[in-house]
Structure 1
Amino acid sequence: MLFFTGTSISNLSHAKTLKVCYDQWAPMTIFPSEASNERGVVIDMLAQIYSSKNYKIEYYEVPLARGLDMVAEGLCDMLPEYLFSKQAEKNFVYANQATFSYLTAFVVRRDDPWRYNGIESIKGKRIATGPGWDYSSMSVSYQNYIDEPKNSNLIEVVAGNNDVVKRIFLMMSENRVDLYADNELVLQHMLNKLNLHDKLKIVRPGLEKKLLEIPIFSKKMPTKRRQELIKIWNEGRLSIKGDKEAMLFKKYKVTL
């Protein structure tokens, strides 16, 4: 009897722990530091949703590529934001409710009159991106241009364990790359954080479609547990709208 009781308690404890992998994508997802314990808009929202259902959350701060591997391997239960892709469906299960749908924009040097006007407008420009980053849901032609081997000398893939976006901004201010596309909120946040308004600027329009980010859940966990976690997310995300959303963004000094 003690054995079975102990096993049941252990399983219950495991069921109420949510392992979350996420990468640095401020202000949406942030790695805590000595200066601040803030984790970002999306992580704050996720914590509200699952804590209300008595889940304890364990965070694993890793680069995106590693986070995807850890979810696929079952080392993490979920990753809170990933773009939708048919290819990714082989390894993950998507929630029904997205985190957010983001407008995109570009950042360029302040003295550069460049504006995005389709693929012809980016030819000859040095473009920054990250390892494994996929823009196809926003613009298939932009992703194809980045993937084309003959353009590789103009594509700067910036890797690292910490804030890749910060490194890209600094590289651009040093004239090492020419442009970078991302979620407009991320660009706003980094420009303010680094105080580079005198060197860089955000330009619109961005890519053709919005960036839709959706939580992904591991296929390695039992189906019933995964369905429960997805149901909690879907219902919780629907409940955080309007003023509740606005309060989260206000905390990080950005507006959707």
Structure 2
Amino acid sequence: MKKKSHLLLFIYCIFLSTIALSKDIKISMNEFCPYHCTELDGGWDKEYPGYAYEIYDEIYSSAGYDFKAIQNPFHRGMQSANTGNVDAISGPIKIKSKHESEIKIRQNKNTGTIYSQLIYSKEPISLYHSSCFFGKSDMKWNYKGIQSILSYKTAVVKDFDYGDILNRFIEVETSKKSSPRVQLMFGKDIQLRNFKMLMSGRVDLVLADLQVGLYTINKMEKKQQLKKGSLKLLGCTEEGQRHLYVGFSPKRPKSSRLLAQLFDQGIVRLRSSGKLKLILDKYGLDDWALEN
């Protein structure tokens, strides 16, 4: 009986030590395929959850963490990272100047100040080309400066960076009570909703990241939500090409610096081992380090 009691005590101690050693990491992500992808029911896509999702899972699971992807619109994810409700947010840009910081604050007073407070990874998670225009396949149009879009209504995403010139244009237009030129979008399934508005004629242009736009159109065509060849890429501006990073919570600086270091080391390891290429190949993408 004594031996049995000792055995039960030993098992219980192992159980407690396992709980003590278990670590969670919560990363906020918006629906932004192919970075982070959801299914029609709103849950993460089980087969193709997104290449950034798979990278985080690989890096932090290998380091002994229980990775949890928390689905939030981008602006809410920024707030959650700032307050410490999540450990990090996927995909913010690094603010490089006071001018950029002022623009972000004007764009969104609630999240603009957070950019300078986050603890960032040194390694990027992507090379982002936000300033790409999409339209109907029969549209003959090229971007030639702001004057060329004044006669059209363009769908854009709240809090996203499109480069100085387009940022200023969007800021002026969205400050109006009702803009005939800009449709500001936020919430879930933004790109899907944007392209549906484009097809229905509610907007004339969609401004989107190159990868996101092409991937969304291809996915909609495969699911027969869109007739093949009905939408196309009209072109991209020279602005809006920036690296995206992982922004860790300033509420737990010591823990955040450790998590950032693990991410940086993990990206280097995945790249050298060839695992990063395998993940990106699955989504038809190239390593952003090769795109510079």
Q: TM bucket by the smaller chain?
A: 0.7 to 0.9
Q: Map residues 66-85 of structure 1 onto 2, 5 A cutoff.
A: 66-85=76-95
Query: Which structure is richer in relative contact order (CA contacts within 8 A, separation 6 or more)?
Result: 1
Cα displacement (A) at 1:131: 2.7
- Superposed, 1:1-256 pairs within 5 Å as 12-13=21-22, 16-31=23-38, 36-37=45-46, 38-85=48-95, 86=101, 87-104=113-130, 105-135=132-162, 139-148=163-172, 149=175, 152-160=179-187, 162-195=188-221, 196=226, 197-221=228-252, 223-241=253-271, 243-255=274-286
SS at structure 2 position matched to 1:83: coil
Give deviations 1:33-74, integer Å, cap 9, x for gaps: 669413200010111111111111122111111111111110
**Cα contact 2:156–2:208 (8 A) shared by 1:** no
Give the drift of 1:89.
Answer: 3.5
Rounded Cα–Cα distance in structure 2 between residues aligned with 1:244 and 1:203: 33
Structure 1: give runs of 5+ residues left out of the alignment. Answer: 1-5
* Secondary structure at the counterpart of residue 247 of structure 2: strand
Q: Is the alpha carbon distance of 1:254 and 1:230 closer, same or farther for their aligned partners in structure 2, counting shifts above 3 Å?
A: closer
Q: Give 1:3's aligned residue.
A: none
The DSSP-based 3-state class of the residue aligned with 1:58 is strand
Q: Which amino acid aligns with 1:55?
A: Y
The 1:89/1:7 distance shift into structure 2, 3 A limit, reads farther
Contact 2:128 2:242 (8 Å CA) reproduced: yes
Given the two structures, how large is their TM-score scaled by the length of structure 1? 0.85
Kept after mapping to 2: 8 A contact 1:31/1:61: no
SS of residue in 1 equivalent to 2:91: strand
Aligned CA distance change for structure 1 residues 51 and 32 (closer, same or farther; 3 Å): farther
Name which one, 1 or 2, has greater alpha-carbon Rg: 2
Matched residues, number: 245
Q: Secondary structure at the match of 1:18?
A: strand
| Runs of 5+ unmatched residues, structure 2 | 1-14, 96-100, 102-112, 288-292
Normalised TM-score (structure 2)? 0.76
Give the percent of matched residue pairs that are identical in Structure 1 and Structure 2: 24
**What one-letter code is carried by the residue in structure 1 that aligns with 2:139?**
D
